[in-house]
Amino acid sequence: MRPKLLEFYGVKSYTDKTVINFDRLISGGLFGIFGATGSGKSTILDSIFLALYGRLPKTSDRDDFINVKTGECYVNFTFEIFYEGRRQTFEVRREYKLKGDRKSKPQPKAALYRVDSDGKTPLEENVTRVNARLEEVIGLNIDDFEKCIVLPQGQFSAFVTLTRGDRLKMVSGLFNLDRY
Instruction: Specify the pLDDT at position 171.
Output: 63
Q: Shortest CA distance to 90 belongs to which of 116, 54, 67, 64?
A: 116
- Average pLDDT, rounded, for the chain: 83
With both helix axes pointing from N to C terminus, report the angle between 41-53 and 142-149 in degrees, rounded to the nearest 10. Answer: 150
Confidence of residue 21 (pLDDT cuts 50, 70, 90): very high
What is the pTM (predicted TM-score) of this model? 0.80
Whether 104 has a pLDDT exceeding 70, the answer reads no
- Residue 136's φ and ψ, nearest 5 degrees, are -65, -45
Whether 173 has a pLDDT exceeding 80, the answer reads no
Residue 144 DSSP symbol: H
Q: How far apart are CA 108 and CA 119, in angstroms?
A: 25
Average pLDDT over residues 70-99: 93
Report H helices in 35-141: 41-53, 127-138
Instruction: Specify the pLDDT at position 63.
Output: 60
Instruction: Specify the pLDDT at position 165.
Output: 80
For residue 116, the cross-strand partners are 119
